[in-house]
Amino acid sequence: MATGCTASGARNKKRSLLTLIAFVGIYSGSSGVGGCSNSTFSASAESVRYTESSIPFLASPVASFDEPWAMTFLPDGRLLVTEKPGRLLVVNQAGEKSAPVTGVPEVDYGGQGGLGDVILHPEYPSNKLIYLSFSESGDGDTRGAAVARARLVLNQSGGGDLRDLRIIWRQHPKVTGRGHYGHRLAFSPDGYLFIASGERQKFQPAQNMDQNLGKIVRLRDDGSVPEDNPFFDPSSEGGGTAAEVWTLGHRNPLGLAFDAQGRLWNQEMGPRHGDELNLVVRGNNYGYPEVSEGDHYSGEPIPDHATRPEFSAPAVFWVPAISPAGLMIYSGDLFAGWKGDAFLGGLSSKSLVRVTFGPDAGDARETERFDMDARIREVEQGPTGGIWLLEDGDGGRLLKLTPLPN
């Protein structure tokens, strides 16, 4: 049963839905509690056809990769694709891949760690700057996420190298384990860099303002801290540890995107169920681990957001989990009926999830879900309005979605 519950309409369903999981399985594209509509698919040798009642699409394989994690489009239509073991590739839309770009920082590969997100500077056409997130090792058996900025120099053979690389941000402190790095990146319309920082499976750092784990961070493009950040302390050098924090109380945020109104949204994995889509508001606390719409993996309950109104509740949450990865808000014309809608990849749900927004801030709901028969790691919009997906894992494919011809 596909369940995308709105913040206002379904909080009291948490316990009953968790019980219901014992009796029914998850199915995609259905008219379940979350209001998903019916969809079917059929396969061919070249592509997979997904047919929904109103808007169908064709999923065309373009290339395959070794644990792809993120992608972004260059101005000429080529893509930069990261592979988690530590490779950055230039890929054209025919699927031809370059040799790995040189100068990529060494990554601490393992578990959920490795090379992560890649985005362009807003003025990339003139400055050629790109940003990479990755996990790096620390002293002893510790590690944490980092963000580097470098100048991408492309060569005539289709590849390139990174020059003048500088690390501009790090998770603090580095801790043991290899999970919940988060490390998704996005630039705001006014040119600030936002970084999603996971709580590294340590729970309480999400509420600890002496650490930047479990937070969404806002920086200038060079990594310096803006003085108008909500927790900036002018009496402390650099504004203090909390100065870079924009919001707190996050678990494992794996998607950041701005909508046409300039509002920031994030999605994040809940604990045992309770995945979230949040409207990210300056200075707000989203409550983890004090509240969640899911429970601990041990089965120990976590209070719902409704029990603690001082914490910001998600616009949408999922019980059962979809395990979201990647977030894109569509602005193209190719799928005209989807303009302004959010798309999330689903790992455990093996799906592409569409969320529509209402007229009020934070008003959102899952509208439909497409069964992709693979774990979807990343979602991006292409230059001509196609929707591009990366499948997760070894051999994960790059897919281009286009409207089904009449």
Distances (CA, A) of 396 to 31, 107, 261: 29, 20, 33
The per-residue pLDDT for 374 is: 97
pLDDT tens-digit readout, 226-241: 999 999 998 887 777 7
Distances (CA, A) of 234 to 208, 227, 246, 287: 19, 8, 16, 26
Average pLDDT on 267-281 reads 97
**Contact (Cβ atoms closer than 8 angstroms) between residue 319 and residue 366:** no
Q: How many CA atoms lie within 13 A of 64 on its CB side?
A: 4
Sign of CA dihedral 139, 142, 148, 152: positive
Say if residue 94's pLDDT is above 90. yes
The per-residue pLDDT for 360 is: 85
Average pLDDT on 28-54 reads 36
pLDDT tens-digit readout, 103-157: 999 999 999 999 999 999 999 999 999 999 999 999 999 999 999 999 999 999 8
Q: Which of 121, 180, 273, 305 is catalytic?
A: 180
Per-residue confidence band for 7, with pLDDT thresholds at 50, 70 and 90: low
pTM, two decimals, is 0.90
CATH number of 4-403: 2.120.10.30
Q: For the chain, give every domain's residue range.
A: 4-403
The per-residue pLDDT for 101 is: 98
Distance (Å, whole) CA 25 – CA 286: 29
CB atoms within 10 A of CB 149: 20
Backbone φ, ψ for residue 329 (5° rounding): -110, 120
Catalytic annotation present for 172 = no
- Residue 337 is given by DSSP the state G
Radius of gyration of the chain (CA): 20
**Contact (Cβ atoms closer than 8 angstroms) between residue 122 and residue 131:** no
Kindly provide the b/e burial profile for residues 315-340, where b requires at least 16 CB atoms within 10 angstroms of the residue's own CB: bbbbbbbbbbbbbbbbeeebbeebee
Q: What is the mean pLDDT of the chain?
A: 89
User: Tokens 């019916």 belong to which residue?
Assistant: 38
pLDDT tens-digit readout, 281-317: 999 999 999 999 999 999 999 999 999 999 999 999 9
Per-residue confidence band for 20, with pLDDT thresholds at 50, 70 and 90: very low
User: Tokens 């001082």 belong to which residue?
Assistant: 310
Lowest mean pLDDT among 120-129, 182-191, 199-208, 238-247: 238-247
